[in-house]
Amino acid sequence: MAICQMEGLGLGSARFTKMAVSFLIAFFLLYMLSMVYRSSTFDLIGGFSRAIGTGEMAGNDTGASVSEDKRSSQPARVAVDKLLGGLLAPGFDEESCVSRYRSSLYRRISPHKPSSYLALKLRKYEDLHKRCGPHTESYNRTLEELSSGHVNGTTDCSYVVWTPANGLGNRIISMASSFLYAFLTNRVLLVDLGTDMAGVFCEPFPNTSWLLPMDFPLSNQFYGLRSGNDHSYGHLLWKNNMNVSTVSQPPPFLYLYLSYNYDDYDKLFYKDQNQGFLQNVPWLILKSDQYFAPYLFLIPSFQQELGRLFPDTETVFHHLVRYLFHPSNQAWGLITRFYHSYLATADQRIGLQVRVFNRKASPIKVVLEQILGCIQKEKLLPQVDEEKQIATSSKNRTSRAITIASLYPEYYESIKNMYWMKPTVNGDVIGVYQPSHEEFQQFGNNIHNIKAWAEINILSLSDVLVTSSWSTFGYVAQGLGGLKPWILYVPTGDRTTDLPCPRAMSMEPCFHFPPNYYKNTGSRRRLATASLAPHIRQCEDATSGIKLVNDKPL
């Protein structure tokens, strides 16, 4: 019909054919030019994760990434290592947990590679977990021992059962520590996630589950587990005058209470001479809200193995958290939608995590002044130009995206308005975003935990990270991202501090409440735990705490 109409206008068929060919040639040339333009735009976006994110939005999922150093005009192409240097095992169903092999596309490439020995031992652990995991023959035999109340040695499997305490950040750091302890003692880790953590994480081990079966005989006792429990290891030591050699038969299970308020008997778990007895107990039910991994490095019987697993002692949590904790598909959807909407095209991503434990003691105005003091003192963001209304035109202006994670909206609103009302002194474009503001921490809420886990991951995608003192939420973000954050001291009272946010000495979390042991002298002078090993230091944000650092050049 279209041809008849054109011929009716006096266009012959030969002339029409020539026009059609010309049109197709012009269309092809325009298409080729558009591809060149898109390619150059792709390379100019800058940064490994941002380039990949933009490629994915366009439907590009080739498994290759672009990394660009801003000091160089030529982007460097690198292969994406979806197994994280051998940290992860291949063979999982990728659709059931998209984040497992794809999170590396969004983060900066980590310079911290796992040791080959760690990778080898993880594969051996996965075989052990598959052999001894829930509902296997070995698991069922060990349950029979638990029910009988006697250890008869009919199975070669033993377990650490992790039980939850406090918020999501505390749970993740304590689960990572519990896995490390299970890993060192040839045990299988099972976790009681409960209903409020359902759908937060993917399964970490291939062809098996780490979830404690709902019919586990002791489950109904978990939530009453406290210091001094009759079945706790601390109570056993107290009852036997701290001499477990008098115990004729090891029990089938013991509780290990390692939370912040544990007593002096509970703390004796960390004494090396007590580990031999625990090896004979098939079931250890562990409750903790602490990152107690640093103290495992002070137990002599573990030190050689830990040295082989982690030659760089400040990478322990970095490797454990990336190995164990993968966002579920529901959480990954939240993460990637926020990323593509607000972060993908920014030249630099800044994460700001503000955790205020007592709003009355830390007024909004004072905390905000502390945040701005941190930003300005450390030159993390440009200042606004109070004299101008319009930014100076510049071809080299940088776009920066700030993600603010906080329970409250006031810090986001203030910083957003500051950069909206005035231009920056150097012409940089600043975007300020906040995924949510829940107002208060909600315990027992599944959706709250999924959103919190998404925000932790979004913070971990940052190039620059500021976390809050004492915040386990921030610890997890820095570990996932392999980042040494600036630590925001959240002030109490009506004054800011002179040092608003010092730089962390390592990316490891802080063990807030390590045990305090004393020299056997009349004065009972306390041993300085942080001086017991060169790779242990006092935490920047908790004077009573300790953390792992790298004490030697690699």
- String of DSSP letters for 212-274: PPTT-TTGGGGGG--TT-TTBHHHHHHHTTT-GGG-SS--SEEEEE-STT--TTGGGGGSGGG
Is 365 domain-assigned? Answer: yes
d(CA 453, CA 473): 9
Average pLDDT, 10 consecutive residues per value, the chain (554 residues): 37 47 55 42 30 30 31 38 95 96 94 97 98 96 86 84 96 98 98 93 98 93 80 90 81 95 95 92 96 97 98 98 98 98 97 90 92 95 90 82 96 97 94 84 80 98 97 98 96 86 97 76 50 88 94 62
83: in domain = no
Domain hosting residue 263, numbered range:
112-314
Tell me, yes or no, whether 269 and 406 share the same domain.
Answer: no
Contact 538, 316 (CB under 8 A): no
CB contact at 8 A, 425 and 382: yes
Q: Both 284 and 340 in a single domain?
A: no
Burial code of 18-34, b = ≥16 C-beta within 10 A, e = fewer? eeeeeeeeeeeeeeeee
Examine residue 553 and state whether it is found in any structural domain, yes or no.
no
Domain of residue 355, CATH code: 3.40.50.11350
> Within this chain, do residues 274 and 369 fall inside the same structural domain, yes or no?
no
Look up residue 238 and give its two tokens: 């107290």
DSSP codes of every residue in 459-515: HHT-SEEEEETT-HHHHHHHHHHT---EEE----SS---SSS-PBPSSSPPPBSS--
Residue where a domain stops, chosen among 292, 314, 336: 314
Looking at the domain assignment, is residue 378 inside a domain?
yes
**Same domain as 228, residue 351:** no
Shared domain for 270 and 344, answered yes or no, is no
Q: Are residues 428 and 301 in the same domain?
A: no
Tell me how far apart the alpha carbons of residues 428 and 552 are, in angstroms, rounded to a whole number.
39
**Final residue of a domain: which of 314, 349, 366?**
314
Q: What CA–CA distance (Å, rounded) separates 78 from 412?
A: 36
What is the reported pLDDT for 152?
72
Whether 415 and 309 share a structural domain: no
Distance from the Cα of residue 351 to its chain's centroid? 14
The overall longest dimension of the chain from CA atoms, in Å, is: 115
Question: 337 and 302, same structural domain?
Answer: no
Which tokens is 82 given? 């979806």
pLDDT value of residue 493? 84
Query: Looking at the structure, do residues 374 and 449 belong to the same domain, yes or no?
Result: yes
Could you give the CA distance from residue 419 to residue 428 in angstroms, rounded to a whole number?
10
Residue 90 domain flag: no
For residue 163, being part of any structural domain is answered with yes
The token pair that represents 439 in the structure block = 């107002």
Domain-located, residue 416:
yes
Beta-strand runs (E) in 130-218 = 159-163, 188-191
Buried b (16+ CB within 10 A) or exposed e, 239-271: eeeeebeeeeebbbbbbbbbbeebeebbbbbbe
Please tell me the predicted confidence (pLDDT) of residue 396: 80
Cα dist from 31 to 18, 28, 54, 59, 315, whole Å: 20, 5, 20, 17, 48
For residue 20, the model assigns a pLDDT of 52
Q: With residue 399 as reference, give the H or E element that holds it.
A: strand 399-406
Q: Report how many domains make up the chain.
A: 2
In a domain, 67, yes or no: no
Please say whether the beta carbons of 489 and 383 come within 8 A. Answer: no
Contacts of residue 441, defined as CB under 8 A and 6 or more positions apart, other chains included, come to: 167, 407, 448
Examine the domain organization and report whether 180 and 238 are in the same domain.
yes
Q: How far apart are the first and last CA of the chain?
A: 75
Q: Which of 217, 433, 264, 417 is CA-nearest to residue 344?
A: 433
Domain end among 314, 348, 377: 314
233 and 354 in a single domain? The answer is no
- Both 150 and 260 in a single domain? yes
